Structure 1
Amino acid sequence: MTPALQFSLLLLLCATALSESQAAQDCLSKQQLLNAIRQMQQFLKGQETRFAEGIRIMKSRLTNLQNTVSKASPDLPPVVCPALEAPENGKKFGSKYLADHEVHYTCDIGYQLIGPSSRLCQQNGSWTGETPYCKGTSLCSSNPCLNGGTCVEGTNQYKCNCPQEWSGSNCQHQTQTDPPQEWTVTSDSAFNRKPRCARIDRTQHCSCEAGFQMSGTPDNGICQDVNECEVFRVEGAPHICMHTCINTPGSFRCVCPTGFKTLTDGKSCEDIDECSSGQHNCSRGSMCINTGGGFQCVSPECPKSNGNISYVKTSPIQCERNPCPMDSRSCHHAPKTISFHYLSLPSNIPTPVTLFRMATASAPGRPGPDSLRFGIVGGNSRGNFVMQRSDRQTGELILVQSLKGPQVIEVDVDMSEYLDRMFQAKHVSKITVFVSPYDF
């Protein structure tokens, strides 16, 4: 036992004795006790000072060591790959050329991509794969000319030579056999009206109501209905109705397809959301997905167990992998999460357009990935989409080729996480796109 500790113990015993009996003869006097207390206070203050000095010296040494290590191995500059250009008669998606970033390629209509559709910037500063190019294909091979029209190839375009009774860029419109008139009229007697006539200065003057046109002589004329639906069906003219036009005597009315309602302007159509309004027959346990003019009932299911790989459904649209055995490499490389997503699109939507985004987020207290890789890993129509990184933590699925409905398109995309170039986890999103038969 150290002298200082022995002295402290003696002080404690004497203080106890004083509190019990002032007559204790083997203890120090009051003045001696006060002197001893002051000595202990000085001793503790010295110990505190030496301890603080030791902490300061340790911090200084750590700072010097950090500076030495930093100077010995400075941070390497980021790896950058050479800039890439879009192929002639095509497009390139992706403008970042750092390591682990991807670029994607597509070709214009009438051209076919030869080579890889995507390239990855590697850690050695080079791109994977060869430079792709767009090769022209025959525009007439798809038989774009209708109703007996003849297709003639041109420079990046085609022309349809139509029979006499058909017109339009694809011979899709039937032409009038009679000489062209300012208005298109019907000959149905139900659509005829008598003109309103008056004789002024021995001359007959007749007129028709709005929506009718005079036919015949002033003395023996008739008012025939103007078919507004035909007038506005000429190619290039604005559509009078969003969907179907029905001619009526002196006017017209617009009709929307099943699953749509007509708006107050009498011309526009708006989709009816059967899911939110309860106008669906989806069974309990399935989800209702609203589509253009209808709805779909879906029941996403997790993959079946396969060896050490099994999943549990954590929400109606997500499955999570159960914990893997430590030595199961195949299990660790299987998707950690699988999510299901459903989109509804009109037909012939303008492209390119971003349809879906994937992002990563680290749990509190855990380091997040320092690198991500995105890709298209499945589905029934990969050629219509590209997957590219939009920022450090986000990837985008972009529609690059327009879709014509009705059809159902499936595309599976994945996001792989890396930390210090070591694979951490993979997440898969299974996306189903319902394409409406209508372009509204």
Structure 2
Amino acid sequence: MTAVSTVCSGLSRTMPPTEMISQDCPSRQDIQGSLKQVQKLLSAHEASYMQSLRNLKKKINLLQSNAGKQTAKATNSTCAKLDAPINGRKLGRSHSVSHEVHFLCDPGYELVGSESRVCQESLTWSGQQPTCRDINECAPSPCLNGGTCVDEVNQFSCVCSKGWAGATCQSPVPTSTAAAAATLPAATAGPFVRPSRCSLVQGTTHCTCEPGYTISGRDSNTCTDIDECELFHNGQAGKLCLHACINTPGGYRCSCPVGYNATRDGRSCKDIDECATRQNNCTKDQMCINTYGGFQCVHVDCPKIPNATYVKTSPMRCERNPCPADNKACSQTPNSFSYHYMAVVSNLSAPRVMFRVSALRPMGDTLRFSLLGGRLARRHFTVQRSDRLTGQLMLVSPIQGPATLEAEVEMSELERRVQLGRYITKITVFVSQYEF
């Protein structure tokens, strides 16, 4: 070897050749023996490396084979097909393990049974097959003033008592202005009855009235006010007024309820934003929420739940303090609560998306969305997935106002079916008394 050769040549300058060989430089035979030992060591390492490589290839082939078998098993592992309930429908087409199917009822029906069912590893569905039951619209007694309610599919009708009219028998039957005016002299009948203007043309008398008046029966000398509100109440061109019509001598005018202003055309109504115009009495620690025809003052207090404490991180959000490592009950409580408020008009058409909940940075392998709350919330809302990271609150049946509904959407984060966290979003919906 070069290093050995260099050392020996250096020593040969300071000592005799015989002393140099015997004390510091190995013999030729020793060097050859060392080289043979190195060659044997390298051969042993090479054999061990080749054996390890063969073992690794066997393991890779075994893993590929097992993965193929599991894929084939997963492909063939599906739950039985579920049918949609009568007078309802089913959301979700996948019948594979861990997939969910949701059920909705048609307008006028309420769901009885499981709203969502999951395909389990045993290839059976969780929960019970739901049914859709007809809603009795007459249950809240909508007919007023002694009217009789007749229940129909997704609606009701009222048979009103004598002297009352309207969809819910809410309006007294008006007395005919023309009939009342005919019994009075023209001079004392008031502004709703006026004398006509007559002229003689080629021997024939022609009488006319001012705009907004008409000849009263056979008496061509008397003009009676036209009640435009009654005449055009439900015409082909629509109602004269969006809200209330007030008949005036020779015309009419529209009025709006409290909380609205009339628009430029004088027929429609526009909501007043009491929050933006500071026409509210909310305190500094409250938030003003504008609603159709009014406003609401809200204040969020963090929930009090055993084994956990929550702090407000923003006006509309509360987050749980870190849980001790040995407190399992704390780790099962929601990680956060978010509060949202929205205003809608009465009888808003459905179905439609009302709110979306998304995960920005998911930690687990599965996100699950569900609807919490009582029977009233489930009658009008449901939750379904729009994509892998987003769930949406759906309005499935119109809400007649005035009303206030609360719906809670829970987003659960899972890792191999083990819960990592729960996040609650509380949505409060303020429904107006009016459809505008």
TM-score, normalised via structure 2 length: 0.74
- Is 1:200 aligned with 2:201? yes
Query: CA 1:116 to 1:235, structure 2 compared with 1: closer, same or farther past 3 Å?
Result: farther
Task: Report the AA paired with residue 424 of structure 2.
Answer: V
Contact 2:350 2:398 in 1 (8 A): yes
Matching residue within 364, 368, 393 for 1:369:
364
Equivalent residue number for residue 287 of structure 1: 287
Equivalent residue number for residue 87 of structure 1: 85
Equivalent residue number for residue 414 of structure 1: 410
- Is 1:328 aligned with 2:324? no
Query: CA 1:221 to 1:63, structure 2 compared with 1: closer, same or farther past 3 Å?
Result: farther
Matching residue within 127, 130, 143 for 2:128:
130
Report 1:243-282 matches (<5 A): 243-282=243-282
Equivalent residue number for residue 20 of structure 2: none
Query: CA 1:265 to 1:432, structure 2 compared with 1: closer, same or farther past 3 Å?
Result: same
Hey, what's the Cα distance between the residues in 2 that align with 1:437 and 1:418? 42
CA RMSD of aligned residues (A): 3.6
Equivalent residue number for residue 189 of structure 1: 190
Where relative contact order (Cα < 8 A, 6+ residues apart) is larger, the structure is 1
Report 1:376-415 matches (<5 A): 376-378=371-373, 381-382=376-377, 383-415=379-411
Equivalent residue number for residue 22 of structure 1: none
Which residues of structure 1 form unaligned runs of 5+? 8-57
- In structure 1, the residue corresponding to 2:261 is in which secondary structure? strand
Give the CA deviation at 1:402.
2.0
Equivalent residue pairs, number? 378
Hey, what's the Cα distance between the residues in 1 that align with 2:57 and 2:229? 84
Q: Give % identity.
A: 42
- In structure 2, the residue corresponding to 1:438 is in which secondary structure? coil
Contact 1:184 1:228 in 2 (8 A): no
- In structure 1, the residue corresponding to 2:300 is in which secondary structure? coil
Task: Report the AA paired with residue 270 of structure 2.
Answer: E
Give the CA deviation at 1:284.
1.3
Equivalent residue number for residue 20 of structure 1: none
Give the CA deviation at 1:123.
3.7
Equivalent residue number for residue 212 of structure 1: 213
Hey, what's the Cα distance between the residues in 2 that align with 1:237 and 1:229? 13
Query: CA 1:301 to 1:160, structure 2 compared with 1: closer, same or farther past 3 Å?
Result: closer
Contact 1:417 1:423 in 2 (8 A): yes
Task: Report the AA paired with residue 327 of structure 2.
Answer: S
Contact 1:101 1:373 in 2 (8 A): no
Query: CA 1:237 to 1:377, structure 2 compared with 1: closer, same or farther past 3 Å?
Result: same
Query: CA 1:215 to 1:427, structure 2 compared with 1: closer, same or farther past 3 Å?
Result: same
Task: Report the AA paired with residue 372 of structure 2.
Answer: V
1:151-193 CA distance string (max 9 Å, x none): 5677887765555655666656666888xxxx97873622223
Query: CA 1:159 to 1:348, structure 2 compared with 1: closer, same or farther past 3 Å?
Result: closer
1:390-432 CA distance string (max 9 Å, x none): 2211111112232222222122221001122221111001111
Contact 2:313 2:319 in 1 (8 A): yes
Hey, what's the Cα distance between the residues in 2 that align with 1:254 and 1:162? 26
Matching residue within 66, 69, 93 for 1:72:
66
Equivalent residue number for residue 104 of structure 1: 103
* Largest Rg, 1 or 2: 2
Hey, what's the Cα distance between the residues in 1 that align with 2:322 and 2:198? 91
- Is 1:114 aligned with 2:125? no
| Greater shift in the superposed pair: 168-177 or 257-266 | 168-177
Give the CA deviation at 1:199.
0.7
Give the CA deviation at 1:271.
0.9
Hey, what's the Cα distance between the residues in 2 that align with 1:63 and 1:250? 99
Hey, what's the Cα distance between the residues in 2 that align with 1:190 and 1:257? 27
Hey, what's the Cα distance between the residues in 1 that align with 2:278 and 2:153? 53
TM-score, normalised via structure 1 length: 0.74
Hey, what's the Cα distance between the residues in 2 that align with 1:434 and 1:157? 22
Task: Report the AA paired with residue 371 of structure 1.
Answer: T
- In structure 2, the residue corresponding to 1:277 is in which secondary structure? coil
Contact 1:359 1:394 in 2 (8 A): yes
